[in-house]
Amino acid sequence: MQTKKKYILILSGILLSLFMSCGPSFIYKSYWQKTPVVIDGKTNDWDVPLRFFDPKTRLNYSVSNDGENLYICIRATDDDNVSAITHDGLQIWIDTTGKKGHQVGILCPIPLTKEQTEKIKSRDEMQGTTDYNGMPDTSRMNRIHQRFLEYARQMRVSGFKIVPNGLLALPNVYNINLGMSWNNSNVLVYEASIPFKSFLKYPLSLSDSTRSLGITFNYTITHRRMSMGNSGGGGMNRGGMGAGGMNAGAGTGGSHSGGTETVGEPETIWTPFRLSTK
């Protein structure tokens, strides 16, 4: 009998260790949003610095909720992060079981198509705004950001209960809202407001205080480096919710041109949250 009890204790300890190694050491709690959040890409409605900081990616972020919406604010101060999110988009994934699954997803901004890029280039040439030489840094960055926001009027969505998969305009009738802006130091602020009724049972109840949401941010930083040789073909695989579809996860790859190699480095942040019910 003693041997059997000892065996059970050892087995329980092994299972507990495996369980703890497969999940986070603890789950954060989303804080209750007392005042409405204006989704304008500014931190006026948030405490800065934001609540969480990821040391690997150097992204600063907060998550809150009220009775109707989940709110997310991300602050990127690193130039590589700002460039990556601006040019190739940021994916937000929500797993309603608190894990790392890709159940509900948003990609915004959507990478520009070749046609859109050519249209911008042609317009800039007609307006004589292609040469930034001699222009103050602030004016140059403001012009680049303004040009970007003219085309960042759509998102790509997947997995929502009441929203069809595919492209969704900003703003939209489903009240899924996103906003971006930069300050004079090129710090990017990214805000999102996602109604619970679009992906969860609604309205929320006290029992939802035990519900965990797994929230993942994905994006890809592109690096250019000298290549040892010119191998043909193969554009970079950005993975994730690219311009042509929504696929789980981010990818890596490279393309070669004129002695340079373009390499995509995927970045991922995953945090589990329990919803706040005041």
pLDDT digits (tens, 9 = 90+) for 115-163: 867 776 777 677 665 555 555 566 667 666 777 777 778 999 999 998 9
CA–CA separation, 278 vs 276, rounded Å? 6
Please provide residue 140's backbone torsions phi and psi, each rounded to the nearest 5 degrees: -65, -45
| Confidence category of residue 42, pLDDT binned at 50, 70, 90 | very high
Tokens of 167: 């492209």
Q: How far is CA 278 from each of CA 37, 45, 95, 205, 255, rounded to the nearest angstrom?
A: 16, 18, 22, 11, 50
**pLDDT value at 83 more than 60:** yes
- H or E segment at 82? helix 79-88
pLDDT over threshold 60, residue 24: no
Structure tokens given for 250: 């981010």
CA–CA dist 93, 116 (Å, integer)? 27
The whole-number pLDDT of residue 248 equals 35
What dotted CATH number matches 24-112+151-221+266-274?
2.60.40
Q: What is the pLDDT of residues 181-229, one digit of tens each?
A: 998 788 999 999 999 999 987 766 655 666 789 999 999 998 665 655 5
pLDDT value at 254 more than 90 = no
Using DSSP, state whether 128 is helix, strand or coil: coil
Q: Are 226 and 263 in contact (CB under 8 A)?
A: no
State pLDDT tens for residues 262-276. Answer: 788 899 999 999 988
Q: What is the mean pLDDT of residues 253-265?
A: 63
Q: Is the pLDDT of residue 64 over 80?
A: yes
Long-range CB pairs of 37-40 (<8 Å, 24+ gap) are 37/64, 37/69, 37/71, 37/191, 37/193, 39/177, 39/178, 39/179, 39/191, 39/192, 39/193, 40/179, 40/181, 40/191
pLDDT digits (tens, 9 = 90+) for 221-250: 986 656 555 444 433 333 344 433 444 333
Residues 6+ apart with CB under 8 A from 230: 256, 257, 258, 259
Helix (H, G, I), strand (E, B) or coil at 209: helix
Tokens 């991300």 found at = 74
Supply the pLDDT for residue 45.
94
Q: What is the mean pLDDT of the chain?
A: 77
**pLDDT at residue 135, rounded to an integer:** 58
pLDDT at 139 (0 to 100): 66
What does the domain layout of the chain look like in residue ranges? 24-112+151-221+266-274
Check pLDDT > 80 for residue 25.
no
